[in-house]
Amino acid sequence: MSQTERWQVRGQPAAVNMMQGAVRSGRVAHAYLFAGPRGVGKATAARAFARALVCEAESPEERPCGRCPACVDAAAGRHVDVHVVAPEEDKLLIDQVRRMHQLALLRAVRGRRKVFIVEAIDTATPEAQNALLKVLEEPPGETVFILIAHNETPLLPTVLSRCVTVRFGRLPREVAAAILRERFGYGDAAELGAALGDGSIAQATRLSPVELLQRRDEALALLGGLLGAAPAAVPKQAEAWHKRRDELAELLEILQTWLRDVLLCQHRPDVLDNPGAWLVHFDRVEDLKSYARAMGPDQVMTALEHILAFHRRLSENVGVRPLVDVLFLDLAACGRRPAA
């Protein structure tokens, strides 16, 4: 079994190297903070680290081995010395920290270590954090705490100072797409999901594969209806979207990836020799070719710039109605070839 298979953590080489180094050397800290965006593998890594810490393999190089009873039980969530603490009603409460402390004071049952994985530590109340601080200041025996945070800002500096921080970045698109295909059954929608997810599996799986492909059809219908439309016909199209801000923003994100693919087809036709390696919408190559022929590269770039400007102004809380009107007029103009 390879290291990747044993650790089951993908796209986070720095984090895996840290965990492996700690296990191999035996220099394991009492507290770790796994910090990074939601949906990039922090919880998966925490569970892998816990398995490695309780693994019964003789050689540290083999931990987690994935075969010994300790690994099997930890993977199944039934190892007596591995505990997961999750928020209750979106908050980590002081009573949960106190119960964890009481458990930590007991000796390990099967080995020499107890491991506590504390999910969403950034949701902990100030009282819970202060209680946790007392635990971290005087850690019982060989207990290891693995704290998971999507956002470090709410955490007390004194809590942060007691932890070894392990940072997790956003997943590379090809890694995210592979995970979506293999673990979530996204098939042809995997590349699109990965592109829209921006390196986060949690964000990528907001829509099912079927919903994602339906949204793409809606986005292309919107774009096709706008490009080259007469200015007098645009206001009526825009009016239908004035109250559908979130849905429109979602479709425009898809159109960004579509226009990016069109540009690639125009500037690097060789990508069509292996579209699956380069294009988000590799399953719609003929349609991409049609757009690449119908629009000039400058028009595609201008359309992209208008969409990006819309997103930027939207984040500034500018009124939606005028933004939609201007965007639709600009996109309509992008479909009209200049006079020769």
**CATH classification of the domain holding 239:** 1.20.272.10
In a domain, 127, yes or no: yes
Q: Which domain holds residue 26?
A: 3-167
In a domain, 340, yes or no: no
Q: Span 55-64, mean pLDDT?
A: 94
Residues 115 and 55 in one domain: yes
Average pLDDT, the chain: 92
Rounded to two decimals, the pTM is 0.85
Q: Span 37-62, mean pLDDT?
A: 96
Residue 320: per-residue pLDDT: 86
CB proximity list for 253: less than 8 A, separation 6 or greater = 196
Total structural domains in the chain? 3
Residues 225 and 202 in one domain: no
Residues 147 and 197 in one domain: no
In the predicted model, is pLDDT for residue 339 greater than 50? no
- Rounded Cα–Cα distance for residues 1 and 5 (Å): 6
In the predicted model, is pLDDT for residue 4 greater than 70? no
Residue 340: per-residue pLDDT: 33
Residues 108 and 193 in one domain: no
- CA proximity to 268, closest of 282, 281, 257, 278: 278
In the predicted model, is pLDDT for residue 3 greater than 70? no
For 293, list phi and psi in degrees, rounded to 5.
-80, -35
Residues 202 and 225 in one domain: no
135-176: pLDDT as tens digits: 998 888 889 999 999 999 999 999 999 999 999 999 999 999
**CATH classification of the domain holding 95:** 3.40.50.300
Residue 1: per-residue pLDDT: 52
Residues 153 and 283 in one domain: no
Residues 16 and 155 in one domain: yes
Burial of residue 136 (CB within 10 Å: 0-12, 13-18, 19+) is middle
**Cα Rg of the chain, angstroms:** 25
In a domain, 61, yes or no: yes
- Rounded Cα–Cα distance for residues 98 and 104 (Å): 10
Pairing of strands 31-35, 82-85: unpaired
85-122: pLDDT as tens digits: 999 888 999 999 999 999 999 999 998 899 999 999 99
Residues 156 and 176 in one domain: no
In the predicted model, is pLDDT for residue 78 greater than 70? yes
Sign of CA dihedral 214, 220, 223, 224: negative
Residues 10 and 156 in one domain: yes
